[in-house]
Amino acid sequence: MLYSTPNKIRYKLLLTPYKDVIQVSLPLVLSTGSTMVMEFTDRVFLGNYSLDALAAAAPAGITAFLFASFFLGVAGYVNVFIAQYTGSGDNEGVGASLWQGIYFAILGAIFMAILATCAVPIFSIIGHNQDIQQLEVIYFRILCFGAGASLVGATLSCFYSGRGFTRTVMLIHMAGTLFNIPLDYALINGKWGLPELGIEGAAIATVSSWIFIASIFAVLIFNKKNNQQFHLFDKCSLRPDLFMRLMKYGLPGGAQFFLDILVFTFFILMVGRLGKTELAVTNLVLSINGLSYMPMWGFSIGVSTLVGQAMGKDKPDDAVIAARSTAHIALVYVFFMIFIFLFIPEPLIKLFLSNSLKVVETEPLIEMGTILLRFVALFLFFDSLVIIYSGALKGAGDSQFVMWSIISVSLIFLFVPVWFGINRFGMGLYFSWSCITAYLLVLFIIVITRYNNGKWKEIRILDH
């Protein structure tokens, strides 16, 4: 026999945490990966349709996502509440928490619809090229009007992810992607009898997929069986005590997510002042970075779930094991992506370039894109661990620390130097990317230090 019985038991105990991470996090990685594929193909279709459309889509898309991110962050914190109530065995708390998130998502939908009417002044202030501005306004308005579906869908997904049933989340998001991609292609290019709408078609396809995903979640969740177990219909009222506790921990979580997106939004908008080419290449590279960045959010949600369930059981040592195991598995993927970005970047870059462009036009784009992907390879390790260990801290309820860390580090290492570097001292593209690399390195040091000191183990967010 290869292993004696005691060694077999020891070996099984060693592998169990990794098995739990794979079971909970891998479907979430594939779920966020499907979202990334949807965005990636959207950019590819737009890049082949028009370089102006590609240049406009990322600033408009990330600006819309910036405002929605606060509400997504708070609604997503329902995942932590459901995870901790699941760990403590309180099914009624699961149902009541879901409804508080739905009410908050509705507030977010109203805000985003009002924001859509402000598209023209927002992009006028940003000050991109006039042709780009017109496309940005179109894309932004449609995404904002449809954001409510995204917020409700994200909240409903917590019913499954918080309880560890993440395969359902994965399958629904994959269905949404399969629904989106052909519709995206057809509406952008005017295929299969549909009108050619360009960037407007891309936005309509995205919103349609959000509605599709939210509808599936609603049909699966609100049924007699779930009501009997979780009292979904009995606990549908607004509970001020629970809602305020969700706000206490969720608002910092939403602010943290908002700030995280704000960093990249500010970065993209400032780079847009350097010129159309710099903006297009930065958008291109950040879209490629989504291949590594978005799966890390899947691991982050997964580790928040595992840590939340462990804290609900009052077993912080299990939370430590879950965080460490998640980091080990995630880094395998991270190092694979670093290898690709360093040694075979050109095929990825060419995916975004129209075949109609001449060689003299594509060569500078490929050269700049290759250099920027080296920046990505440099900061990807730090960025990934920040996302994972921030997820662990949020799963325990330590969301305020993460929020204040991002505020302070981004001001010192990103907002101030990039603003003055570009507007006052004429610093270029590579200086801006150096600043974002420094920002992620310092944030990594702060988050890891906070995690290692263990104060998060003493936090309790439940009312019992």
Confirm if 299 and 388 have CB atoms less than 8 A apart: yes
Cβ proximity of 345 and 388 under 8 Å? no
Q: What pLDDT, on a 0 to 100 scale, did the predictor assign at position 373?
A: 92
Distance CA 87, CA 397 (A): 14
Query: Model pTM?
Result: 0.78
Look at residue 364 in the predicted model and tell me its pLDDT.
Answer: 78
**pLDDT for 3:** 47
pLDDT at 1: 45
Q: Which amino acid is at 6?
A: P
* Residue ranges per structural domain of the chain: 15-458
Q: What are 146's two structure tokens?
A: 């449809």
User: Residue ranges of the chain with pLDDT lower than 70?
Assistant: 1-16, 33, 36, 127-128, 354-361, 463-464
Do 299 and 330 touch, CB atoms closer than 8 A? Answer: yes
Per-residue HEC secondary structure of 256-267 comes to HHHHHHHHHHHH
CB 308, CB 322: distance < 8 Å: no
pLDDT at residue 355, rounded to an integer: 65
Q: What is the pLDDT of residue 10?
A: 44
